Structure 1
Amino acid sequence: MAESHHPMQRGDKSVAVNVRLKPVSASDQPILVNYTHVGLSDGLAYVDFGFLEPAFLSAVAIHAKQGDVTPKQVEGISRARVALPLDSAVRLYQQLQRVLVSLQPPKTKHS
């Protein structure tokens, strides 16, 4: 079950609300993806999540380094597509930014 503490905006004021998402079917099972693409259309951000075979990608990279011909198109498996209103996409960006910043090692102070 996904849980988070989510500030919601009400006019010019933020209100903190605990959010609990209940899984449906197998929605609580993680899906491995190694490819993402974001597109915009009609006020929505479409985020596509997919999986590309890692061995194939490695082979393509090796051929590219050697100057060999590389495929013009790569086939992968679509795992999910999520459509987000732009305000939700902004919140996702902010959440990802906070998570990624927290992964950085602390800066050392030089005296």
Structure 2
Amino acid sequence: MSWRPICDLALLQPECGVPALVDGHPVAVFRTHDDELFAVGNVDPLCGAGVISRGIVGDRGGEPTVASPMLKQVFSLRTGECLDVPDARLPVFPVRRRGSSVEVALP
């Protein structure tokens, strides 16, 4: 596993996403209102558009989520599972703070 810097933590506003291309993988990194970090694939599996980073961050029954801005399906930020369409999912990547930087790991 290889860690790659994405952005400075100060640039990642709560409830907003940041898109990144990491070794050819489109990634969306999110910071929730309670300061947790999540990284998932940035391509919506239902329409193929790279828009997940622009989705609405929320919560469904205590599960941190992002709703696709295209078709509005909701995905778990922890597992990548689509909570509305059982066969759809986003890839999930390890993410961490390192000093003032946010980093994502790819296999």
Structure (1 or 2) with the larger CA radius of gyration: 1
TM-score range, shorter chain: under 0.3
